[in-house]
Structure 1
Amino acid sequence: MPDPSRPIIVATRGSALALAQAHAVLNQCRQTFPKLRFELKIIKTTGDKLQTASLAQSGRSLPKGLFTKELEVALLKGRADMAVHSLKDLPTELPAGLQLGAVTRRADVRDVLIYRDAGHFAALAHASGPEWVPGQSQLRGFPPRITLADLPPGTVVATSSTRRQAQIRALRPDLRFAELRGNVPTRLEKLATRDAFDATILALAGLSRLNFRITPEGRLEGDAVPEGLLATVLPLETMLPCVGQGAVGIEIRADDDRLRAICARLNHYNTCQAVTAERAFLRAMGGGCQSPVAAHAEVVGDQLRLRAISFLDGVRRADATGPVQDPVALGESVAAQLKAGC
């Protein structure tokens, strides 16, 4: 039997976003179970070590679990009791002996187009003082509230996501792409100071968890946001998210009854059913986090609606509903539709 006095170890990556998510889970644990002790353990993953490497190389398969493997090893070896993941990073097939114990309430799933403010950078060109970065005043900018449809031909959008690239190409084949990696503040700094690209796309959930905000005027603000950046939230009709986007998953050992009981109190049912449908869809499509597919499920009344798009063999879309209680069947059904080209 587990020692009830021993703290429950919560494993997480060490990035700012991962820590923000882990602390949110930690606070929920402590509020729900005030008599138990929970401690955070930071573990560096393979994905953290490869942040500067290109992980989206054409024609090459990618290793699974880049941001989860080391956390899962800690679980299996008893060095941790719970692992907190961005659910989009968690493979649909988990190692033997592990299971997804809970999913917390989902944040906004939409993506955000981020770009330089033309007015701000024009003002830099006329400023009498030195530039923050040499040549910064010559960087290309755009007016507030611009959309993907409004970008001039040849605009370079920095994103390494095959999902985002495929959806942008379907809408705007005249745009170009560039690689951009690193944590969120690093990406924003590169956008504000480099002329290799004109805009980027990030998840709204991640920005919000880092306490960044979009003002009514369209400015992106926050402690680590460089001056002169604007942002436009993209509607789902323009950009479907990746599977699990905006959701945080808690992975545990399958034979740990105590942790299963704890996770039952942490789990958000509607979110869990939605992401279960999405993950079933992705598994049935045979893809991973870098596959050019997107999906979003949500509970509508007593039904579960799943929208999906695939670029694996042309552009194929599906929109279906099913019982909330059977998300796996819905996900597999939508995958079958897309594979059949219906």
Structure 2
Amino acid sequence: MSQNAWRVIKVGTRQSQLALTQTGQVIDQLNDICIHHRLNYRFEVHKIVTKGDKILDVSLSKVGGKGLFVKEIEQALLDGVIDLAVHSMKDMPYEQPTGLMNGATPKRLSAQDCLVMKEGITSFADLPVGAKVGTSSLRRSCQLKYVRPDLQIEFIRGNIDSRIRKLHTEDLDAVVLAAAGLMRMGWEDKISAYIAEDICVPAVGQGALGIQCRESDEQVRALLQLLNDEQTEITVRAERSFLGAIEGSCQVPIGAQAILVEEEASDVAELSEQGTYYPLIELTAIVGSTDGSVLLKEVMRGRHPEQLGEEIAAQLLASGADRILAEVNLNQ
């Protein structure tokens, strides 16, 4: 690209209010990068309807398949209709189509789940016996039922604003949402309580975005590297490695959260002298039964994200996750 030539980069996204908001925020960051580095790029939003957006009357686990919110967008990338795509990382399957890659993982917001509750209820522990809790996530319902078997889990789908409305229209006591979505919308004041990660381990990649592009597009790849947050990338790689090794889908309650562990300065210095330094990662992962009667959890530490994800998956499979997965596959 010559010094004065401008390239219009077409950005694909779902057309929900949250998807458009987070895409706008990514474009704002990319514009700042372009100004700082004197790059001649402009950005144009392309709204794309996915299969997951069309089917709203059944739970995601019953729709089946992977990539319900990304396949049509990925096809647009492959066809050259768009040049990059902004996804919620938790929507992205482990395997990507040949020719596509994750070009950037921007800095993550909170990975936690949260509750939006009726007035007067201020914590998960305060939910009354037999409370009606709305969610479409098997991961959330499994973990909440494991801790509180008395809860009545009610199926709800839709955008976050419509799910919040259902708190009143469907006489629910609470709805469970990803805190990051509310934060991106500027709706933190709607959060009644955060759910501790020891009660509800987040979805793989929750709170993070995945910016997908074509492997062959060197200009976009170079631009996206300037947007990438290394710490977020490392932790998300560990979580997604677990997802790939466990062969997870929306039909099995699985979750994973990786964090970077504080280390002694002497340990860091010693490792740096030995060559490439990889930070210490702590990965928590769960696999559960769909009814919440069984919940398997492991916590492991390691320095290589892909290896750590594979090792914790192997440990969970050896502890009984293989039987849970086999039962789900048998009933499909």
Deviations 1:283-324 (A, max 9, x none): 11111244201110011233111011111593211111111x
Maintained 8 Å contact 1:101/1:250: yes
**Equivalence for 2:179:** 204
Question: In the TM superposition, what are the counterparts of 1:190-229 in structure 2 within 5 Å?
Answer: 190-195=166-171, 197-214=172-189, 220=190
Equivalent residue in structure 1 for 2:283, among 293, 303, 306: 306
**Equivalence for 2:58:** 53
Q: CA deviation at 1:38?
A: 1.6
**Equivalence for 1:155:** 131
**Equivalence for 1:90:** 92
Letter matched to residue 212 of structure 1: W
Distance 1:54 1:316, change over 3 A: closer
Q: CA deviation at 1:153?
A: 2.1
Letter matched to residue 117 of structure 2: Y
Deviation larger for 240-249 or 311-320: 311-320
**Equivalence for 1:337:** 315
Equivalent residue in structure 2 for 1:243, among 192, 198, 204: 204
Letter matched to residue 112 of structure 1: C
Find out whether 1:259 has 2:214 as its counterpart.
no
Q: CA deviation at 1:150?
A: 3.0
Question: In the TM superposition, what are the counterparts of 1:76-87 in structure 2 within 5 Å?
Answer: 76-87=78-89
Equivalent residue in structure 2 for 1:67, among 66, 69, 83: 69
Deviations 1:152-181 (A, max 9, x none): 221111111000011011101111111111
Deviations 1:251-299 (A, max 9, x none): 0111211121111111100101111110110111111244201110011
SS of the counterpart of 1:56?
helix
Aligned length: 296
Question: In the TM superposition, what are the counterparts of 1:248-287 in structure 2 within 5 Å?
Answer: 248-287=209-248
Q: Distance in 2 between matches of 1:188 and 1:203?
A: 12
Letter matched to residue 162 of structure 2: T
Question: In the TM superposition, what are the counterparts of 1:309-328 in structure 2 within 5 Å?
Answer: 309-312=286-289, 314-323=294-303, 326-328=304-306
Identical aligned residues as a percent: 42
SS of the counterpart of 1:321?
strand
Q: Distance in 1 between matches of 2:211 and 2:78?
A: 14
**Equivalence for 1:178:** 154
For normalisation by structure 2, the TM-score amounts to 0.85
**Equivalence for 2:102:** 100
Structure 1: give runs of 5+ residues left out of the alignment.
Answer: 118-142, 215-219, 221-229
Letter matched to residue 179 of structure 2: L
Structure 2: give runs of 5+ residues left out of the alignment.
Answer: 263-278, 321-332
SS of the counterpart of 1:96?
coil
RMSD over aligned CA atoms reads 1.9
Please identify which structure carries the higher helix content. 2
Maintained 8 Å contact 1:88/1:289: no
Letter matched to residue 97 of structure 1: G
For normalisation by structure 1, the TM-score amounts to 0.82
Q: CA deviation at 1:193?
A: 2.6
**Equivalence for 2:163:** 187
Q: CA deviation at 1:4?
A: 5.1
Letter matched to residue 18 of structure 1: A
**Equivalence for 2:14:** 13
Q: Distance in 1 between matches of 2:224 and 2:315?
A: 34
Q: Distance in 2 between matches of 1:333 and 1:255?
A: 32
